[in-house]
Structure 1
Amino acid sequence: MWRRHAQILGLLLCTLGWGFVGCTLAMNHWRVAQLGGQGGSSVVTASWFWSDLWKDCYEDSTGVVNCVDFGVLWSVKSYIQAVRGLLLIGLSLGLVATVLTFFGMECTRLDGDKRSKDRMLMTASAVHVVGGECVSDLAGYCLYTNRVVEAFLHAKADPTKLRYEIGPPLYLGMVASVLILLGCVVHCATTCRVKHPKKYPKIIPVTFFLCSKLPHQEYRGYKHICIPSKVSHDFRNISSYKLATVVTV
């Protein structure tokens, strides 16, 4: 019973992380840079530059946002295109792994023994971890974060450049990868079945004699001889008893 609850928990964790990764693709403010906003004047003005995977935007203190969409595929920066591809690959493989997880759970009424279901669940976890969410998506987030940090260090050396910082989608994506990894660990833990040897009471073979009483067969000169027999270990296959009759002269 506990395996079913654990598998449902792992499925919820993986599905929640997969949904978070999908949300980060549509979220804004992957990187944010602020200008102004310092005190010392009667009117404080500030402006923000922020970017995501699809556009660069400028927002002033009045709330007016001006955005420039990225061009066609070959005009986008290489690292942004790589991040897009990694996230889309992760989402596709995550969907396949989620379907396999649903089929491999014990609570689903599908054909297959426990061993085949465990194999399917292990395959789904491997797709999640190795080829899907944790590796592809986490690599995409780390690549984008590395570029933001690199630009921040260059801007720190050159004050004329914008100093971008990491936005909320990157934090959400990293949390999503951790959730998926936890769900895969839970699924792998449920497939580890410990086989204990069955404990049976110690049975010692007993040799005994069985004599059947046959009515109306007490004749002179006849003697009934009982043949010994042994009891089998499982008490299910008891050897037949033999009754020999010897004629005395």
Structure 2
Amino acid sequence: MSHNLGSATSALTMSNMATEIAAFILTTSGWVLVSSTIPTDYWKVSSIDGTVITTATFWSNLWKTCVTDSTGVSNCKDFPSMLALDAYIQVCRGLMISAVCMGFFGAIFALVGMKCTKIGGTDQTKARIAGFAGMTYIISGISSLAACSLYAHRITSEFFDPMFVAQKYELGVALFIGWAGSVLSILGGGVFCLSLSNSFSQSSSHTGRGGYGYNGAVSSRTAAHSHPANHRRPPVDYSTASRHFDKNAYV
């Protein structure tokens, strides 16, 4: 029975390790995608819908605005002042930088808390660290998701506004990369949080089973050795005993 319990425990441990490795791959991929969107040029690209002259393409990101002519030459201009920027660009900058920083610390916590590493302490301590890493990744994914969605909302609102007469833009490739990275970070962080709950439920169930089996084995053995019915008694000769009875014994 102990051999079967050990085999089940090792199988569950290997399953949790595989789950954590898959979650780490998801979160790391998401963090790399989110980080790559910050220097990416095309957050928004000028729309050719309703435009007669298409010799120039306007595009911009969180740091600069550029124009590319028909020969492929680009002229860029950085935003002159951070305080003079639109509020949504400042918010997107802060959210994206926060997402990258949280993803970096989440990767460190994940490496410490994963069962396949040799650091972090006991299994329960490593499980708590892995759960904290999962929450960090979820916050990182939500931050980048909010930044990309806010930027996309501004583009779409200007595009469908009939009173907006300036240059209209469409969604750039950086927004789709950011959304994909955000989803991967949130999914991987959720898997880390689920591994935390599975580790605690597994440890509690093993404690209960082990205590019950040990106490049951001790009690059964103790009862087997201490019960007087299990000791052999010499057979009683009822014929000899009946000779000592006389007629007064039945009165």
The TM-score range, normalised by the shorter chain, is: 0.7 to 0.9
SS in 2 for 1:74: coil
- 2:143 pairs with 1:136: yes
> Which structure 1 residue ranges, 4+ long, deviate > 4 Å from structure 2?
35-39, 199-202
More strand, by proportion: 1
Unaligned segments of structure 2, at least 5 residues:
1-13, 234-251
Q: Distance in 1 between matches of 2:25 and 2:190?
A: 13
Kindly provide the CA deviation profile for residues 119-154 of structure 1, in whole angstroms up to 9, marking residues without a partner as x: 11111111221xx31221111111111111111112
- 2:28 pairs with 1:9: no
Alignment match, 2:133: 124
Does the 8 Å CA contact 2:43/2:171 hold for their aligned counterparts?
Answer: yes
Q: TM-score, normalised by structure 2?
A: 0.73
Aligned pairs for 1:235-246 (under 5 A) are none
- C-alpha displacement of 1:93: 1.4
Q: Distance in 2 between matches of 1:147 and 1:45?
A: 23
- 2:55 pairs with 1:46: yes
With CA pairs under 8 Å and 6+ residues apart, which has the higher RCO, 1 or 2?
Answer: 2
Alignment match, 1:151: 158
Q: TM-score, normalised by structure 1?
A: 0.74
Higher mean C-alpha displacement, 26-35 vs 190-199: 190-199
More helix, by proportion: 2
Q: Distance in 1 between matches of 2:77 and 2:35?
A: 23
Q: Distance in 2 between matches of 1:178 and 1:111?
A: 28
Count of matched residue pairs:
203
Alignment match, 2:168: 163
Kindly provide the CA deviation profile for residues 15-55 of structure 1, in whole angstroms up to 9, marking residues without a partner as x: 1111111100010111111448989xxxx953211111111
Unaligned segments of structure 1, at least 5 residues:
212-249
- Letter in structure 2 aligned against 1:15: T
Q: Distance in 2 between matches of 1:92 and 1:111?
A: 21
Alignment match, 1:56: 65
Counting aligned pairs with the same residue, the percent is 31
> Which structure would you say has the larger Rg?
1
